[in-house]
């Protein structure tokens, strides 16, 4: 592999998400060689993927080139490739572009969509973990509305305008709210032959409330907001099958739909080569100590969603959201600096900054310690926090402009179908 030889310690980082970039930023001036591997050449701000999929933002508003982030880093190298295997005996990784040795390895691969072994759902549903997947959902949604606008078949029109989302966590709730607002703000203006009431949004959740990770107060407020927007919520309901046309549930419900979005679960994005006590199979995560070192290894670390750190407050590991990943990445970077100076490393202690989710215009919920509130104040706080953590000044400005424009005009400007045109054979 074409990576310069070095006498400095070589640190390989797998994954350019929140954890990986937070870690590398802390090594900017250190005398180490950092090699970052990722399948994409950009960092994705995943909390706003749903806005790309519902035509609220263009993808370049939430994505930022990885090479540009680390321009000022000393001896930094990026390679766009997939890591296939870790050889722990020889301290080597095997990738789609060759092999590379390391002195230290940091795994920050995050999660992938979990279909719980249901092949039909995996094959026919629409996941939303990456920018291409979000764009695919956007194109499908708009294509189905276009088809509904011209079809004379009432049954087919109903199926095309029936949107079903599996999973009422933050992603599912935010998607449902955005789709409901799309119906309210766009449908009557762009598609005068379609009635607003013809478009239905269904949100299906296996537990007894929406937003299960948040407080009951936040769940109640979020459900009230969703119902006010016209979202139909189905709790204590598990999806058993989707064949591309029909969603079936465990309690006998049937939803005929051409748009089924799966937001019901994630699983750790493991890399072959590390197993034994280091691998927690029930969670698909690597067991790490308080310094994010993987159990049984001296030079291999894991960060963020892929790391399971068992503590008194979090016996099942920290929540798989952005803040633990960012905090772990920052601390590990600081600890590497201390380690290089032969100083003692500091154990990780998670600082809970609160959780939040948005439902729509002037509608959001926030859990901040013992405080639970919702509405316009929560919505503005949600916007401020997400703008603050976006990577890149340009992305912040463009996103703020888009949000301001949408707020004033009740519009979603990114309504472009970008799938390749397929000619119908006669």
Q: Mind telling me the catalytic residues?
A: 174
3-state helix, strand, coil in the chain (%, to 5): 35, 25, 40
Phi, psi for 364 (deg, rounded to 5):
-155, 165
How far apart, in whole angstroms, are the C-alpha atoms of residue 201 and residue 17? 31
Biggest alpha carbon–alpha carbon distance for the chain: 74
How far apart, in whole angstroms, are the C-alpha atoms of residue 412 and residue 258? 22
Burial code (b: 16+ CB inside 10 Å, e: under 16) for 236-274 equals ebebeebeeeebebeeeeebebbbbbbbbebbbbbbebb
Computed on alpha carbons and rounded to an integer, the radius of gyration of the chain in Å comes to: 23
How far apart, in whole angstroms, are the C-alpha atoms of residue 307 and residue 350? 13
How far apart, in whole angstroms, are the C-alpha atoms of residue 209 and residue 38? 36
DSSP 2-61: -----SSPEEEEE--SHHHHHHHHTTTTSS-EEEEEESSSEEE-GGGHHHHHTTSS-GGG
Which of 68, 56, 97 is closest to 80 using CA atoms? 97
Residue 217, classified by CB atoms within 10 Å of its CB into exposed (0-12), middle (13-18) or buried (19+), is: middle
Alpha helix (H) residue ranges in 358-412: 376-389, 393-409
How far apart, in whole angstroms, are the C-alpha atoms of residue 219 and residue 281? 30
Q: Which residues contact 314 (CB under 8 A, 6 or more apart)?
A: 350
Please check whether residue 84 is in contact with residue 279, taking contact to mean a CB–CB distance below 8 angstroms.
no
């Amino acid at each position: 592999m074409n990576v310069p030889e070095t006498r400095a310690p070589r640190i390989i980082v797998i994954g350019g998400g929140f954890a990986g970039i937070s870690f590398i930023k802390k090594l900017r001036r250190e005398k180490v060689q950092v090699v970052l591997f990722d399948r994409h050449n950009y960092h994705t701000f995943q909390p706003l993927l749903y806005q790309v999929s519902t035509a609220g933002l263009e993808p370049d508003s939430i994505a930022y080139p990885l090479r540009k982030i680390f321009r000022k880093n000393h001896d930094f190298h990026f390679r766009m490739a997939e890591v296939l295997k870790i050889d722990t005996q020889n301290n080597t990784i095997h990738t789609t572009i060759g092999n590379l040795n390391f002195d230290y390895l940091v795994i920050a691969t995050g999660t992938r969509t979990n279909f719980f072994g249901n092949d039909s759902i995996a094959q026919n549903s629409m996941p939303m973990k990456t920018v291409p997947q979000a764009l695919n959902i956007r194109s499908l949604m708009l294509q189905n509305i276009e088809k509904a606008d011209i079809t004379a078949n009432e049954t087919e029109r109903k199926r095309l305008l029936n949107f079903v989302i599996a999973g009422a966590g933050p992603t599912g709730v935010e998607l449902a709210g955005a789709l409901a607002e799309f119906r309210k703000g766009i449908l009557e203006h762009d598609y005068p032959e379609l009635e607003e009431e013809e478009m239905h949004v269904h949100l299906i959740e296996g537990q007894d409330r929406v937003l299960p990770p948040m407080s009951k107060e936040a769940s109640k407020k979020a459900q009230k907001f969703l119902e006010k927007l016209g979202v139909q919520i189905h709790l204590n309901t598990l999806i058993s099958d989707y064949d591309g046309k029909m969603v079936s549930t465990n309690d006998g419900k049937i939803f005929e739909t051409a748009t089924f979005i799966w937001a019901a679960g994630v699983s750790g994005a493991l890399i072959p080569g590390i197993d034994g006590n280091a691998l927690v199979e029930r969670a698909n995560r690597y067991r790490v100590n308080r310094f994010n070192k993987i159990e049984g290894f001296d030079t291999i670390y894991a960060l963020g969603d892929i790391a399971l750190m068992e503590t008194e407050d979090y016996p099942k590991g920290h929540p798989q959201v952005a803040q633990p990943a960012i905090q772990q990445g920052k601390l590990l970077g600081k600890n590497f600096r201390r380690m290089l100076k032969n100083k003692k490393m500091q154990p990780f202690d998670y600082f809970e900054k609160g959780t939040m989710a948005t439902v729509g215009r002037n509608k959001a919920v926030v859990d901040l310690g013992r405080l639970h509130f919702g509405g316009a104040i929560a919505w503005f706080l949600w916007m401020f926090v997400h703008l603050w953590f976006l990577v890149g000044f340009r992305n912040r400005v463009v996103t703020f402009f888009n949000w301001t424009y949408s707020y004033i005009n009740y519009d979603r400007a990114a309504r472009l179908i970008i799938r390749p045109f397929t000619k119908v054979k006669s």
